[in-house]
Structures are given as structure tokens and as C-alpha cells.
């Protein structure tokens, strides 16, 4: 069974990735299993650049196959922000902020423009590096609406504010539903298909 290091300490992401990869003969571990490995520098200008930077960094540090993602929210009314800085929206260039702080800043920015909502999309790029250095990249996107009024108790990040239809947010739907429609779900399905073909 192949061991893959998932380059995150975000439990929500790990759950989604483990669920999607359940059909493959792999053992997934997270960075929680490598407490001394350090932090990759995410200074790329695109999701793709950051995903590859993380995958290459943790592959080199652990010597294992590695799967990394860079994902984020793009809000039309904010010119595509927070984009690649989604995790650091209310933090600094090098330090992530809490989901609560990021969401509070998002709401404040929209209200500052006199808006209650805006068209938005979630983006995800997955980068996989095998033990031999082979690289694969997949991408996914989910369109929706950001509203300043949150709803739902599930999900993580901006999910309670990201409406997938008129009534439900990403935080309202089950993990199974989320995998079918989300940006990460689309990128994961594509990655699983590619890996399954390689490992036949």
C-alpha cells in the first residue's frame, strides 16, 4: 500500500481527501505526523504555483509521495480577493488567520461596499508528487454566491457564507454532497482517476 503525505494540518481538508481516496490502495497521513518538518513558503501568485511549492517541499522533507492543495475563495465584488491569500486574509503575508477572523473581514469588506452578497467561486489546485518525482496537477472550481449572513454548522473556512443555491451553503450539505459539487471534490476525482490509471 502506497503512503502519501497530505500536505496540510487542516482536519477538514484531510477528511475530504481521505473520503475521496478511499477507492485507492493508499495510506494517507497528514503533516500532524511530521511535527518537525517545517513550513513551506506559499509565495506564489497562483493556486497552481503554491500547490506545487508545497508538494515539492514536503516531498523533499519527508522522502514520501506527497499531495498538496492550494485553494481559496474568489469574490467578484472584491476583484477576486481573497484568492491565494484566502487562509491569510485577516492575517499577514506569512501567517494564516482563524476562520472566524477571515470571515469577519470578508463580511466587513462587502458591507463596506454597501453589498449584502456577491458572485463568487471556490478554486482548488491539487499537486501530487510520487516517490520517483513524477508530478501530476488537477484543478476544480465551484461557482456560488457569498452572502454576509452565514448559514449551516458544517464545513470549514468560508463554507457558512458560500451559498450553493438560494437556501443552502457549503456548511449545510453533507460531505457526500460536497464531494459531488465542490471545487476540491472535482480536483480530487480527477486526481484519483489519473492515479488509478497510473497504478493499474
Question: Which residues are catalytically annotated?
Answer: 70
CA distances from 195 to 82, 104, 107 (A): 31, 39, 39
- The CA distance from 143 to 6, in Å, is 25
Q: Are 183 and 143 in contact (CB under 8 A)?
A: no
Closest alpha carbon to 182 in 118, 99, 123, 120? 123
Q: Phi then psi for 162, rounded to 5 degrees?
A: -100, 105
Closest alpha carbon to 117 in 145, 144, 89, 142? 145
- The CA distance from 156 to 148, in Å, is 16
Q: Are 5 and 65 in contact (CB under 8 A)?
A: yes
Amino acid at each position: 500500500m502506497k503512503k502519501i503525505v497530505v500536505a496540510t494540518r487542516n482536519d477538514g481538508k484531510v477528511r475530504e481527501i481521505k473520503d475521496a481516496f478511499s477507492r485507492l490502495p493508499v495510506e494517507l497521513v497528514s503533516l500532524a505526523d511530521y511535527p518537525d518538518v517545517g513550513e513551506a513558503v506559499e509565495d506564489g501568485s497562483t493556486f497552481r504555483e503554491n500547490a506545487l511549492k508545497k508538494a515539492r517541499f514536503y516531498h523533499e522533507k519527508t522522502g514520501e509521495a506527497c499531495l498538496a492543495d492550494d485553494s481559496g475563495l474568489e469574490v467578484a465584488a472584491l476583484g477576486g480577493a481573497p484568492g491565494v491569500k484566502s487562509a491569510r486574509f485577516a492575517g499577514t503575508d506569512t501567517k494564516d488567520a482563524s476562520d472566524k477572523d477571515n470571515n469577519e473581514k470578508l463580511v466587513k469588506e462587502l458591507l463596506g461596499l454597501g453589498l449584502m452578497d456577491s458572485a463568487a467561486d471556490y478554486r482548488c489546485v491539487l499537486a501530487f508528487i510520487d516517490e520517483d518525482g513524477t508530478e501530476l496537477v488537477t484543478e476544480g472550481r465551484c461557482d456560488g454566491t457569498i452572502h454576509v449572513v452565514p448559514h449551516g454548522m458544517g464545513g470549514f473556512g468560508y463554507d457558512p457564507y458560500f451559498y450553493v443555491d438560494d437556501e443552502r451553503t457549503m456548511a449545510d450539505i453533507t460531505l457526500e454532497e460536497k464531494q459531488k459539487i465542490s471545487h476540491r471534490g472535482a480536483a480530487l476525482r480527477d486526481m484519483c482517476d489519473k492515479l488509478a490509471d497510473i497504478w493499474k
